Structure 1
Amino acid sequence: MVAEALSKWSGINTLRNQIFAGFTVTMIAVLVFAGVYIYGQVSDLLKSSAVKHIQQTAVQMNGRLDALLEQIDSLSTQVATSSYVQKLLLSEANGVPANFNERQSLLQIANGYMAYSSGIQSLELYTRDYRRLFPLDDIGLPSRVAKEWIDEADRKKGRLVWVGIDPRQPDTVLALRRVSLIDQGYSAGGYVAVHIHRAYFEMNEAAEEDGSANGEFMLLADSNGQTIMSDLPIEDAGAVLRQSGGTVTIVGDPYLAVRQSSATTGWTLVLLTRIQATTEGISVLRTAILVSIGIGAVAFLVLSLFLSTVVTRPILKLMRTMRGARLGGLKPNPSPSPQIASLEIRELNNTYNQMVTHMNELIQVVYEKEITQSRTELKALQAQINPHFLFNTLEAIYWSLEDKEEEELASIVVAMSGLFRYVIGRSGNDDEWVTVKDELEHVERYLQIMTMRLGDRLSWRIEAQPGLEHAPIPKLLIQPLVENAILHGVESKLGPGSVVVEVFASAAHPGCAVVKVTDDGPGMDEETVAKLMRSAENRAPDSGSRGTGVAIANVQRRLKLYFPEAPEAASAGSLKIDSVPGEGTSVSFEISIPRGEERTR
């Protein structure tokens, strides 16, 4: 069952189907994304436009409200500063109560001011001890207005205080002002209470008539959250005031809400617009976008099918040719029609044909080279010289010198044979590491040979601390330093010289051993030592000529190779040169001593 499913999948998983499916999915995704993005942007734009329009309307209405409030404030100021009112309240403040006729005269004054504004329902005048002078009754101010508003009027010192809905007369709005006596240094003389019709604050007559049809409503509330004027029912207005944010819900319908606060009264003006009314054009846009996505998807399906066929047909033909070449030899593929195949397909076909031609040529060349190589390998095998031939020859020379009692020459031949055997006697990775003992024996043989050449001019000494003879060390690491000591130390000195090779445990770095080569030659100054070290760091391996620090560079390179920075060999891997002009030079380096078993050789 699984095999059958895999077989069906491999049958439809072709390049043509992949191109067709990939292009189609990509285009549909692009169209959907573009449609969603455009739809969202246009929706936000419509909502933003609606909000700006409502905000402008709210600002205009707020300006009208401020004008109405300013009119009430102006009239109440005229009442408070009226000469007759000032005179009457001054007498009351001096302990002379107003008689009936004086109080009755206030009716004419009140009617005169009320005639200037149709919104004022009534005016009331109180003394500073809260007794009412007008109208003619004995009701006190605290029974009409809460004490907190009286205190607020006192704090305002003559400015109008807007109380809000009058609890005794819910159809009116109450405002209170303290009357300051001009002749007594603007001290408190009494209070003026103004009752305004709630209809006075109606500012949206057109909305009131067809607001429900257009989905636009207005709401005006006092600082206590009580509705002063609204196009909505009382319950819906209260629900709007209890909600916050730019969107509110009324009976399940969402509305855009724009709020404006009056700095004079602390009242809040709210304009509401049904969201559905602001997005009426979105449904048309949504339909247009869906139709565009459908047409674009169908057109791209046809185009992608045609394109995938044009691309894959020459490739399939080339595949059949290559399959036939695998079975019956390499044959070129006919070039596709330039009117149908693209430049890349034609270039692919030409490249294949060139490859076939080149491979046919290479097959012939390889065949001929195989014959030539077989003959060459036979001659190379015949020309190889076994290194044992060299060792056997040196052994024969040694026994010949022994027979002739040439013991000194015989010892030199033995040393040379051991030196050659140490250098080229073994091959492979097993020869990279030796013990300190093996390396020092090789140095000793080299010094014996150099003693024969220099005679009494050279004296040497090799010392190794007990316990370090079997420590592992890279092969041929000490001999180049000894050669340098003889070349630049002993031979550059007038008179006899000495070379000392020492191996001892490092006192500064536990777990490491110090290898030190010292000569008593002419030495070097600090600048020469620094230049030599820079040359050793930058020199390519095995380059340069005699006397230019090649040995130092090679040893430095091998130290860094065999002793990379690691916790157990933190100090290993670098050369140290100490030299004093006229006294000699010492070159040293440290090697790590493995813990437990020795390093595998």
Structure 2
Amino acid sequence: MKKLGQLNTLRNQILIGFMLVMVIVLASVGYFMYGQVSVLLRNSAEKHIQQTAVQAMGKLDVLLGQIDTLTAQVATNASIQRLLTQEIAGKPIRFEERQSLQQEARKYEAYVTGIRALEMYSSDYRRLFPLDDISLESRVPKEWIGQADSGKGRLVWLGFDPQDANVVIAIRHIRLVDRSFIHAGYLVVHIEKSYFELTDAVAENENETREHMALFDGAGQEIFSDLAMDASEENILDHGGEAITVGNESYIAIEQQSKETGWKLAILTPVNYATAGISVLRTAILVSGAVGGLLFLVLSFILSTMITRPILNLIKAMRGARFGTLKTNPNTSSTMEINELNNTYNQMVDSLNELIEVVYQKEIIQSRTELKALQAQINPHFLFNTLEAFYWELDDKGEEDLAQIVVAMSGLFRYVINRTEDDEWVTIGDELDHAERYLRIMEMRMVDRLSWRIEAAEACRTVPVPKLLIQPLVENAILHGIEQRVGPGTVVLRAEPSSREGFTRVIITDDGPGMDAAAVESLQAFMKEGYVSGSKGTGVGVSNVERRLRLYYHAAGSGLDIQSEPGRGTSVTFEIPDRLERIGTNEDHLNCG
């Protein structure tokens, strides 16, 4: 413990204080900056990834649009429309005409490199070209044909070719333009999977971000992926904006869905790329904090030394007073405050040395003065007689109100100052009379701001009570209640039988501003400590009443019960036994006191 006391120096306090301030400031600023900048970096990375996804989806829409345009041109070709109209009219298409249909379709295949083959079927599922007898039902599942029928002339993207996993199939209804767009057949297009490779859309950022891309059809089957493993087996769908693990690396998944096909495009960006700036920021903040802390420590040490060294010299000079005459401190400081403190000490030393010379003479004079002061003490009766003389003089001049105030003041002083052997205990009637005299004096001082009344049952006026128990509570009601109120207020003092048999209740009520529950609890706590702080005095009187009630009555009394509400005033209540015998062993203690 002694070693800890030696470490509790001003220099160490300055160092610790400055370091705490530095740590709090740097930690707060670093935490705030890290949070704000990391959010900006994360948002920027997500925006970049989202932009890449939009670009890739835009390219996909262009590719799909090319297929859609091509099939629409084939379906609306004049020769194809004429031959299918002939087929609907009941005149079968001849072999030579089927060859011409195939030649017309082959002209359009050259416009799109990704198309492997075009197939055309009649409305009864017979294949018109290529030139064989395979039916549409044997070529694709029946549900796909139903989806094409539901498309009503739109190009319907179905999925992988059941006979070739590297080919994607789409079907369009062929409708006759000149025959009210009636159904005339089916156009089936086979597209290579390589046609949907979208890596060129992110080629500019691929080396930098190592982003990966995967395209899935409506059934969740992988159409395209640049991942090293099967993307459909990794289950990367339905994780938009979340972190997922593919292989041994974590990625942030962003998804885009095509409105035309229902296909989903997933772009995977490594988490370490998205958070690379955050790591650099964290390192920069830690390094800056460490460097700043070291510099702050060195500067704080230098500053604390500059402050404490002159103080230590002054302490050494003060310690010389233990050996006799005080000596001045010749050391000076460049700091204005420390130099002023040293000058003040030197002036004090000079003054004390002068005072020491006359201490002995003053001690002799003081002993003689104390004797004369004892002889010159004022007799209380002189005060009472003087007040009586004031009363008669005012009465002779017709100043009845002032005369009554002087009488009240005289009775007030006589009640407080006069001491007899049985002066410790009085009756409630005596206390009420004393409180009435106090209220009259306060009424004159506060003019029309104070009104009061005293209500007491006659039987209660004879109950014994310790002297000066009620008047402090009345004073408290005026100071903290009525004087704090805007406008006139009222104090009511009541003494009445309690609901407990053999007890009397005393209530002091005011209609001042009141207190909230927290203020009442705080008041109760301070009363137990024997001190109540306030703007109108220290509150020792109220605490003294509480302590006297506990002292004189122990468990027989109730102590002070304070009830208050903001805007509705305050009520202070206590209960005491009607007879001293009810106090039990406490009566002997009181008589002895």
Structure 1 and Structure 2 fold alike (TM over 0.5): yes
Question: Which of 91, 96, 104 is equivalent to 1:109?
Answer: 104
- The question of whether the paired residues in 2 share the 8 Å contact of 1:219 and 1:227 is answered with yes
Q: Which residue of 2 aligns with 1:499?
A: none
Structure 1: which amino acid aligns with 2:427? T
CA distance in 2, matches of 1:570, 1:36: 48
Q: Which residue of 2 aligns with 1:594?
A: 576
Structure 2: give runs of 5+ residues left out of the alignment. 385-410, 435-455, 472-493, 513-540, 550-557, 565-571
Q: 1:569 to 1:334 in 2, by over 3 A?
A: closer
- Structure 1 window deviating more from structure 2 (230-239 vs 22-31): it is 22-31
Q: 1:325 to 1:591 in 2, by over 3 A?
A: closer
Q: Which residue of 1 aligns with 2:77?
A: 82
1:35-73 CA-to-partner distances (Å, cap 9, x unmatched) read: 788788777666655544444343333222211111111
Using the size of structure 1 for normalisation, the TM-score is 0.60
CA distance in 2, matches of 1:73, 1:597: 110
Q: Which residue of 2 aligns with 1:336?
A: 332
Question: Which of 426, 435, 439 is equivalent to 1:434?
Answer: 426
- 1:161 aligned onto 2:153: no
Q: 1:140 to 1:374 in 2, by over 3 A?
A: farther
CA distance in 2, matches of 1:314, 1:435: 66
Q: Which residue of 2 aligns with 1:217?
A: 212
- Residue 62 of structure 1 aligns to a residue whose secondary structure is helix
Question: Which of 64, 69, 72 is equivalent to 2:67?
Answer: 72
Structure 2: which amino acid aligns with 1:262? S
CA distance in 1, matches of 2:267, 2:336: 66
1:303-362 CA-to-partner distances (Å, cap 9, x unmatched) read: 343333222211211121222224434333224232xxx233223323333444455566
Equivalent runs, 1:176-575 vs 2, <5 Å:
176-205=171-200, 215-236=210-231, 238-239=233-234, 241-242=236-237, 244=239, 245-274=241-270, 299-338=295-334, 342-359=335-352, 370-383=363-376, 423=415, 426-427=418-419, 431=423, 434-435=426-427, 465=458, 469-470=462-463, 472=465
- Residue 117 of structure 1 aligns to a residue whose secondary structure is coil
- The question of whether the paired residues in 1 share the 8 Å contact of 2:168 and 2:192 is answered with yes
* CA shift for structure 1 position 596: 5.5
Q: Which residue of 2 aligns with 1:412?
A: none
* CA shift for structure 1 position 16: 3.1
- Residue 175 of structure 1 aligns to a residue whose secondary structure is strand
Instruction: Return the index of the structure with the highest Cα Rg.
Output: 1
CA distance in 1, matches of 2:235, 2:420: 93
CA distance in 1, matches of 2:166, 2:470: 113
* CA shift for structure 1 position 107: 0.9
- Residue 576 of structure 2 aligns to a residue whose secondary structure is coil
Q: Which residue of 1 aligns with 2:478?
A: none
CA distance in 2, matches of 1:28, 1:436: 64
CA distance in 1, matches of 2:383, 2:59: 122
CA distance in 1, matches of 2:505, 2:28: 72
Report the number of matched residues: 464
Structure 1: which amino acid aligns with 2:105? A
- Residue 329 of structure 2 aligns to a residue whose secondary structure is coil
Structure 2: which amino acid aligns with 1:260? Q
* CA shift for structure 1 position 144: 3.6
Q: 1:127 to 1:421 in 2, by over 3 A?
A: closer
- The question of whether the paired residues in 2 share the 8 Å contact of 1:225 and 1:241 is answered with no
Structure 2: which amino acid aligns with 1:375? R
- The question of whether the paired residues in 1 share the 8 Å contact of 2:237 and 2:266 is answered with no
- The question of whether the paired residues in 2 share the 8 Å contact of 1:505 and 1:512 is answered with yes
- The question of whether the paired residues in 1 share the 8 Å contact of 2:214 and 2:231 is answered with no
Q: 1:466 to 1:92 in 2, by over 3 A?
A: same
CA distance in 1, matches of 2:212, 2:299: 54
- Residue 121 of structure 1 aligns to a residue whose secondary structure is strand
CA distance in 1, matches of 2:506, 2:304: 73
Q: 1:441 to 1:148 in 2, by over 3 A?
A: closer
Structure 2: which amino acid aligns with 1:82? N
Q: 1:13 to 1:477 in 2, by over 3 A?
A: closer
Structure 2: which amino acid aligns with 1:435? T
* CA shift for structure 1 position 91: 4.8
CA distance in 1, matches of 2:35, 2:158: 45
* CA shift for structure 1 position 111: 0.7
Q: Which residue of 2 aligns with 1:398?
A: none
CA distance in 1, matches of 2:325, 2:168: 107
- Residue 269 of structure 1 aligns to a residue whose secondary structure is strand
Q: 1:295 to 1:79 in 2, by over 3 A?
A: same
1:496-542 CA-to-partner distances (Å, cap 9, x unmatched) read: xxxxxxx9968999976899xxxxxxxxxxxxxxxxx99xxxxxxxx
* CA shift for structure 1 position 228: 1.8
- Structure 1 window deviating more from structure 2 (110-119 vs 142-151): it is 142-151
CA distance in 1, matches of 2:296, 2:110: 78
1:99-141 CA-to-partner distances (Å, cap 9, x unmatched) read: 4344333211211221222221112223344443333444443
- The question of whether the paired residues in 2 share the 8 Å contact of 1:240 and 1:248 is answered with no
CA distance in 1, matches of 2:54, 2:416: 103
Q: 1:105 to 1:438 in 2, by over 3 A?
A: closer
1:375-399 CA-to-partner distances (Å, cap 9, x unmatched) read: 34433433557779999xxxxxxxx
CA distance in 1, matches of 2:470, 2:282: 84
* CA shift for structure 1 position 569: 9.8
CA distance in 1, matches of 2:250, 2:432: 98
Equivalent runs, 1:7-22 vs 2, <5 Å:
7-20=2-15
Structure 1: give runs of 5+ residues left out of the alignment. 1-5, 392-418, 443-462, 479-502, 516-532, 535-557, 572-589
Identity of paired residues, percent? 49
Alpha-carbon RMSD: 5.4
Equivalent runs, 1:134-149 vs 2, <5 Å:
134-149=129-144
1:240-293 CA-to-partner distances (Å, cap 9, x unmatched) read: 625723544343233454433322222233344445567778888888777766
- Residue 171 of structure 1 aligns to a residue whose secondary structure is strand
CA distance in 2, matches of 1:142, 1:385: 132
Q: 1:356 to 1:140 in 2, by over 3 A?
A: farther
- Structure 1 window deviating more from structure 2 (183-192 vs 274-283): it is 274-283
CA distance in 1, matches of 2:506, 2:36: 78
CA distance in 2, matches of 1:139, 1:25: 87
Structure 2: which amino acid aligns with 1:179? I
- The question of whether the paired residues in 1 share the 8 Å contact of 2:56 and 2:202 is answered with no
CA distance in 1, matches of 2:30, 2:380: 84
1:549-568 CA-to-partner distances (Å, cap 9, x unmatched) read: xxxxxxxxx99x98999997
- Structure 1 window deviating more from structure 2 (327-336 vs 67-76): it is 327-336
CA distance in 1, matches of 2:421, 2:82: 126
CA distance in 1, matches of 2:224, 2:236: 13
Structure 2: which amino acid aligns with 1:173? V
- The question of whether the paired residues in 2 share the 8 Å contact of 1:126 and 1:134 is answered with yes
Q: 1:17 to 1:162 in 2, by over 3 A?
A: same
